[in-house]
Structure formats: C-alpha cells, structure tokens
Structure 1
Amino acid sequence: MAQVKITLTKSVAGRPQDQRATVIALGLHKTNSQVIKEATPQINGMLHKVRHLVTVEEI
C-alpha cells in the first residue's frame, strides 16, 4: 500500500469533539506535527473527516 505524510495545518480549537478525537487518533497533537501512515480505507476515511484541518502528501 502507498504511504501518506499527514500534517496538521490548522488548530483543533473550537472544533467538534469527534474531529478532535480523529486528529488525535491519527497521531497528531500540535499544529505542524507530522506522521506517516499507510493509506488504508480506514485512514482515508479519517482523513476525509478532517480534510479541512490537514495536508496530505503521498510518499
């Protein structure tokens, strides 16, 4: 599977609790933090939910 680099570009302050939980489940904590994940259907669904808060790059 392809890997993706996920960067938290916007703060989760003032966002609904489910979006905050999704960002934490992806492994992101502070703005501009980055993680590398496999592009599975589960991760893609999580990214779709918080697409306005993150930047995604394929590796």
Structure 2
Amino acid sequence: MAKKFVVTLKKSTIGCTQDQKDAVRCLGLKKLHSTAEVNDTPANRGQIMKVQHLVNVEVKG
C-alpha cells in the first residue's frame, strides 16, 4: 500500500504568491484548518515543499 500524507492548512494564503496559492488549491485545501489526504508522489512532495510554511504534514501508512 502506498504512503499517504495528511495535509492541514494552518496559515492563510493572504500575501502569498500566486504559485503558492495554486499549490494549496492543488493539494485539495480550500479553507483555513481544512485537511486533505494526498498520495506520496514527487509532484505532491514538490507542492508540499513549496508551501511548507503554511501547512502541517503527517505521514499515514
């Protein structure tokens, strides 16, 4: 079974660049304190690294 990440948006995207806002949306996060479960892929890892100051990440599985 593939590993997954549980990503939670902890800080607002106000004042962030458009690239960072797009990365948050692509991870499936819409509002503050929303949580999404994403697969462990290189694309998702890159998006998480881009917004690591805005999110909490937990490894599942």
TM-score range, shorter chain: over 0.9
One-letter amino acid of the counterpart of residue 38, structure 2: K
- TM-superposed CA distance for 1:13, in Å, is 0.6
- In 1, Cα distance between the equivalents of 2:18 and 2:4? 27
| 4+ long deviations beyond 6 Å | none
Match of 2:39 in 1: 38
Tell me how far 1:36 sits from its aligned partner: 0.3
TM-score if structure 1 supplies the norm length?
A: 0.95
Deviation at 1:45, TM superposition (A): 0.5
Please list, as runs of the form range in 1=range in 2, the aligned pairs for 1:1-59 lying within 5 A after superposition. 1-59=2-60
Mind listing any 5+ residue stretches in structure 2 that lack a counterpart?
Answer: none
Cα distance between partner residues in 2 of 1:21 and 1:34:
16
Point out where structure 1 has 5 or more consecutive residues left out of the alignment.
none
- The RMSD of aligned alpha carbons is 0.6
**Between Structure 1 and Structure 2, how many residues are aligned?**
59
Distance (whole Å) between structure 2 residues aligned to residue 2 and residue 39 of structure 1: 6
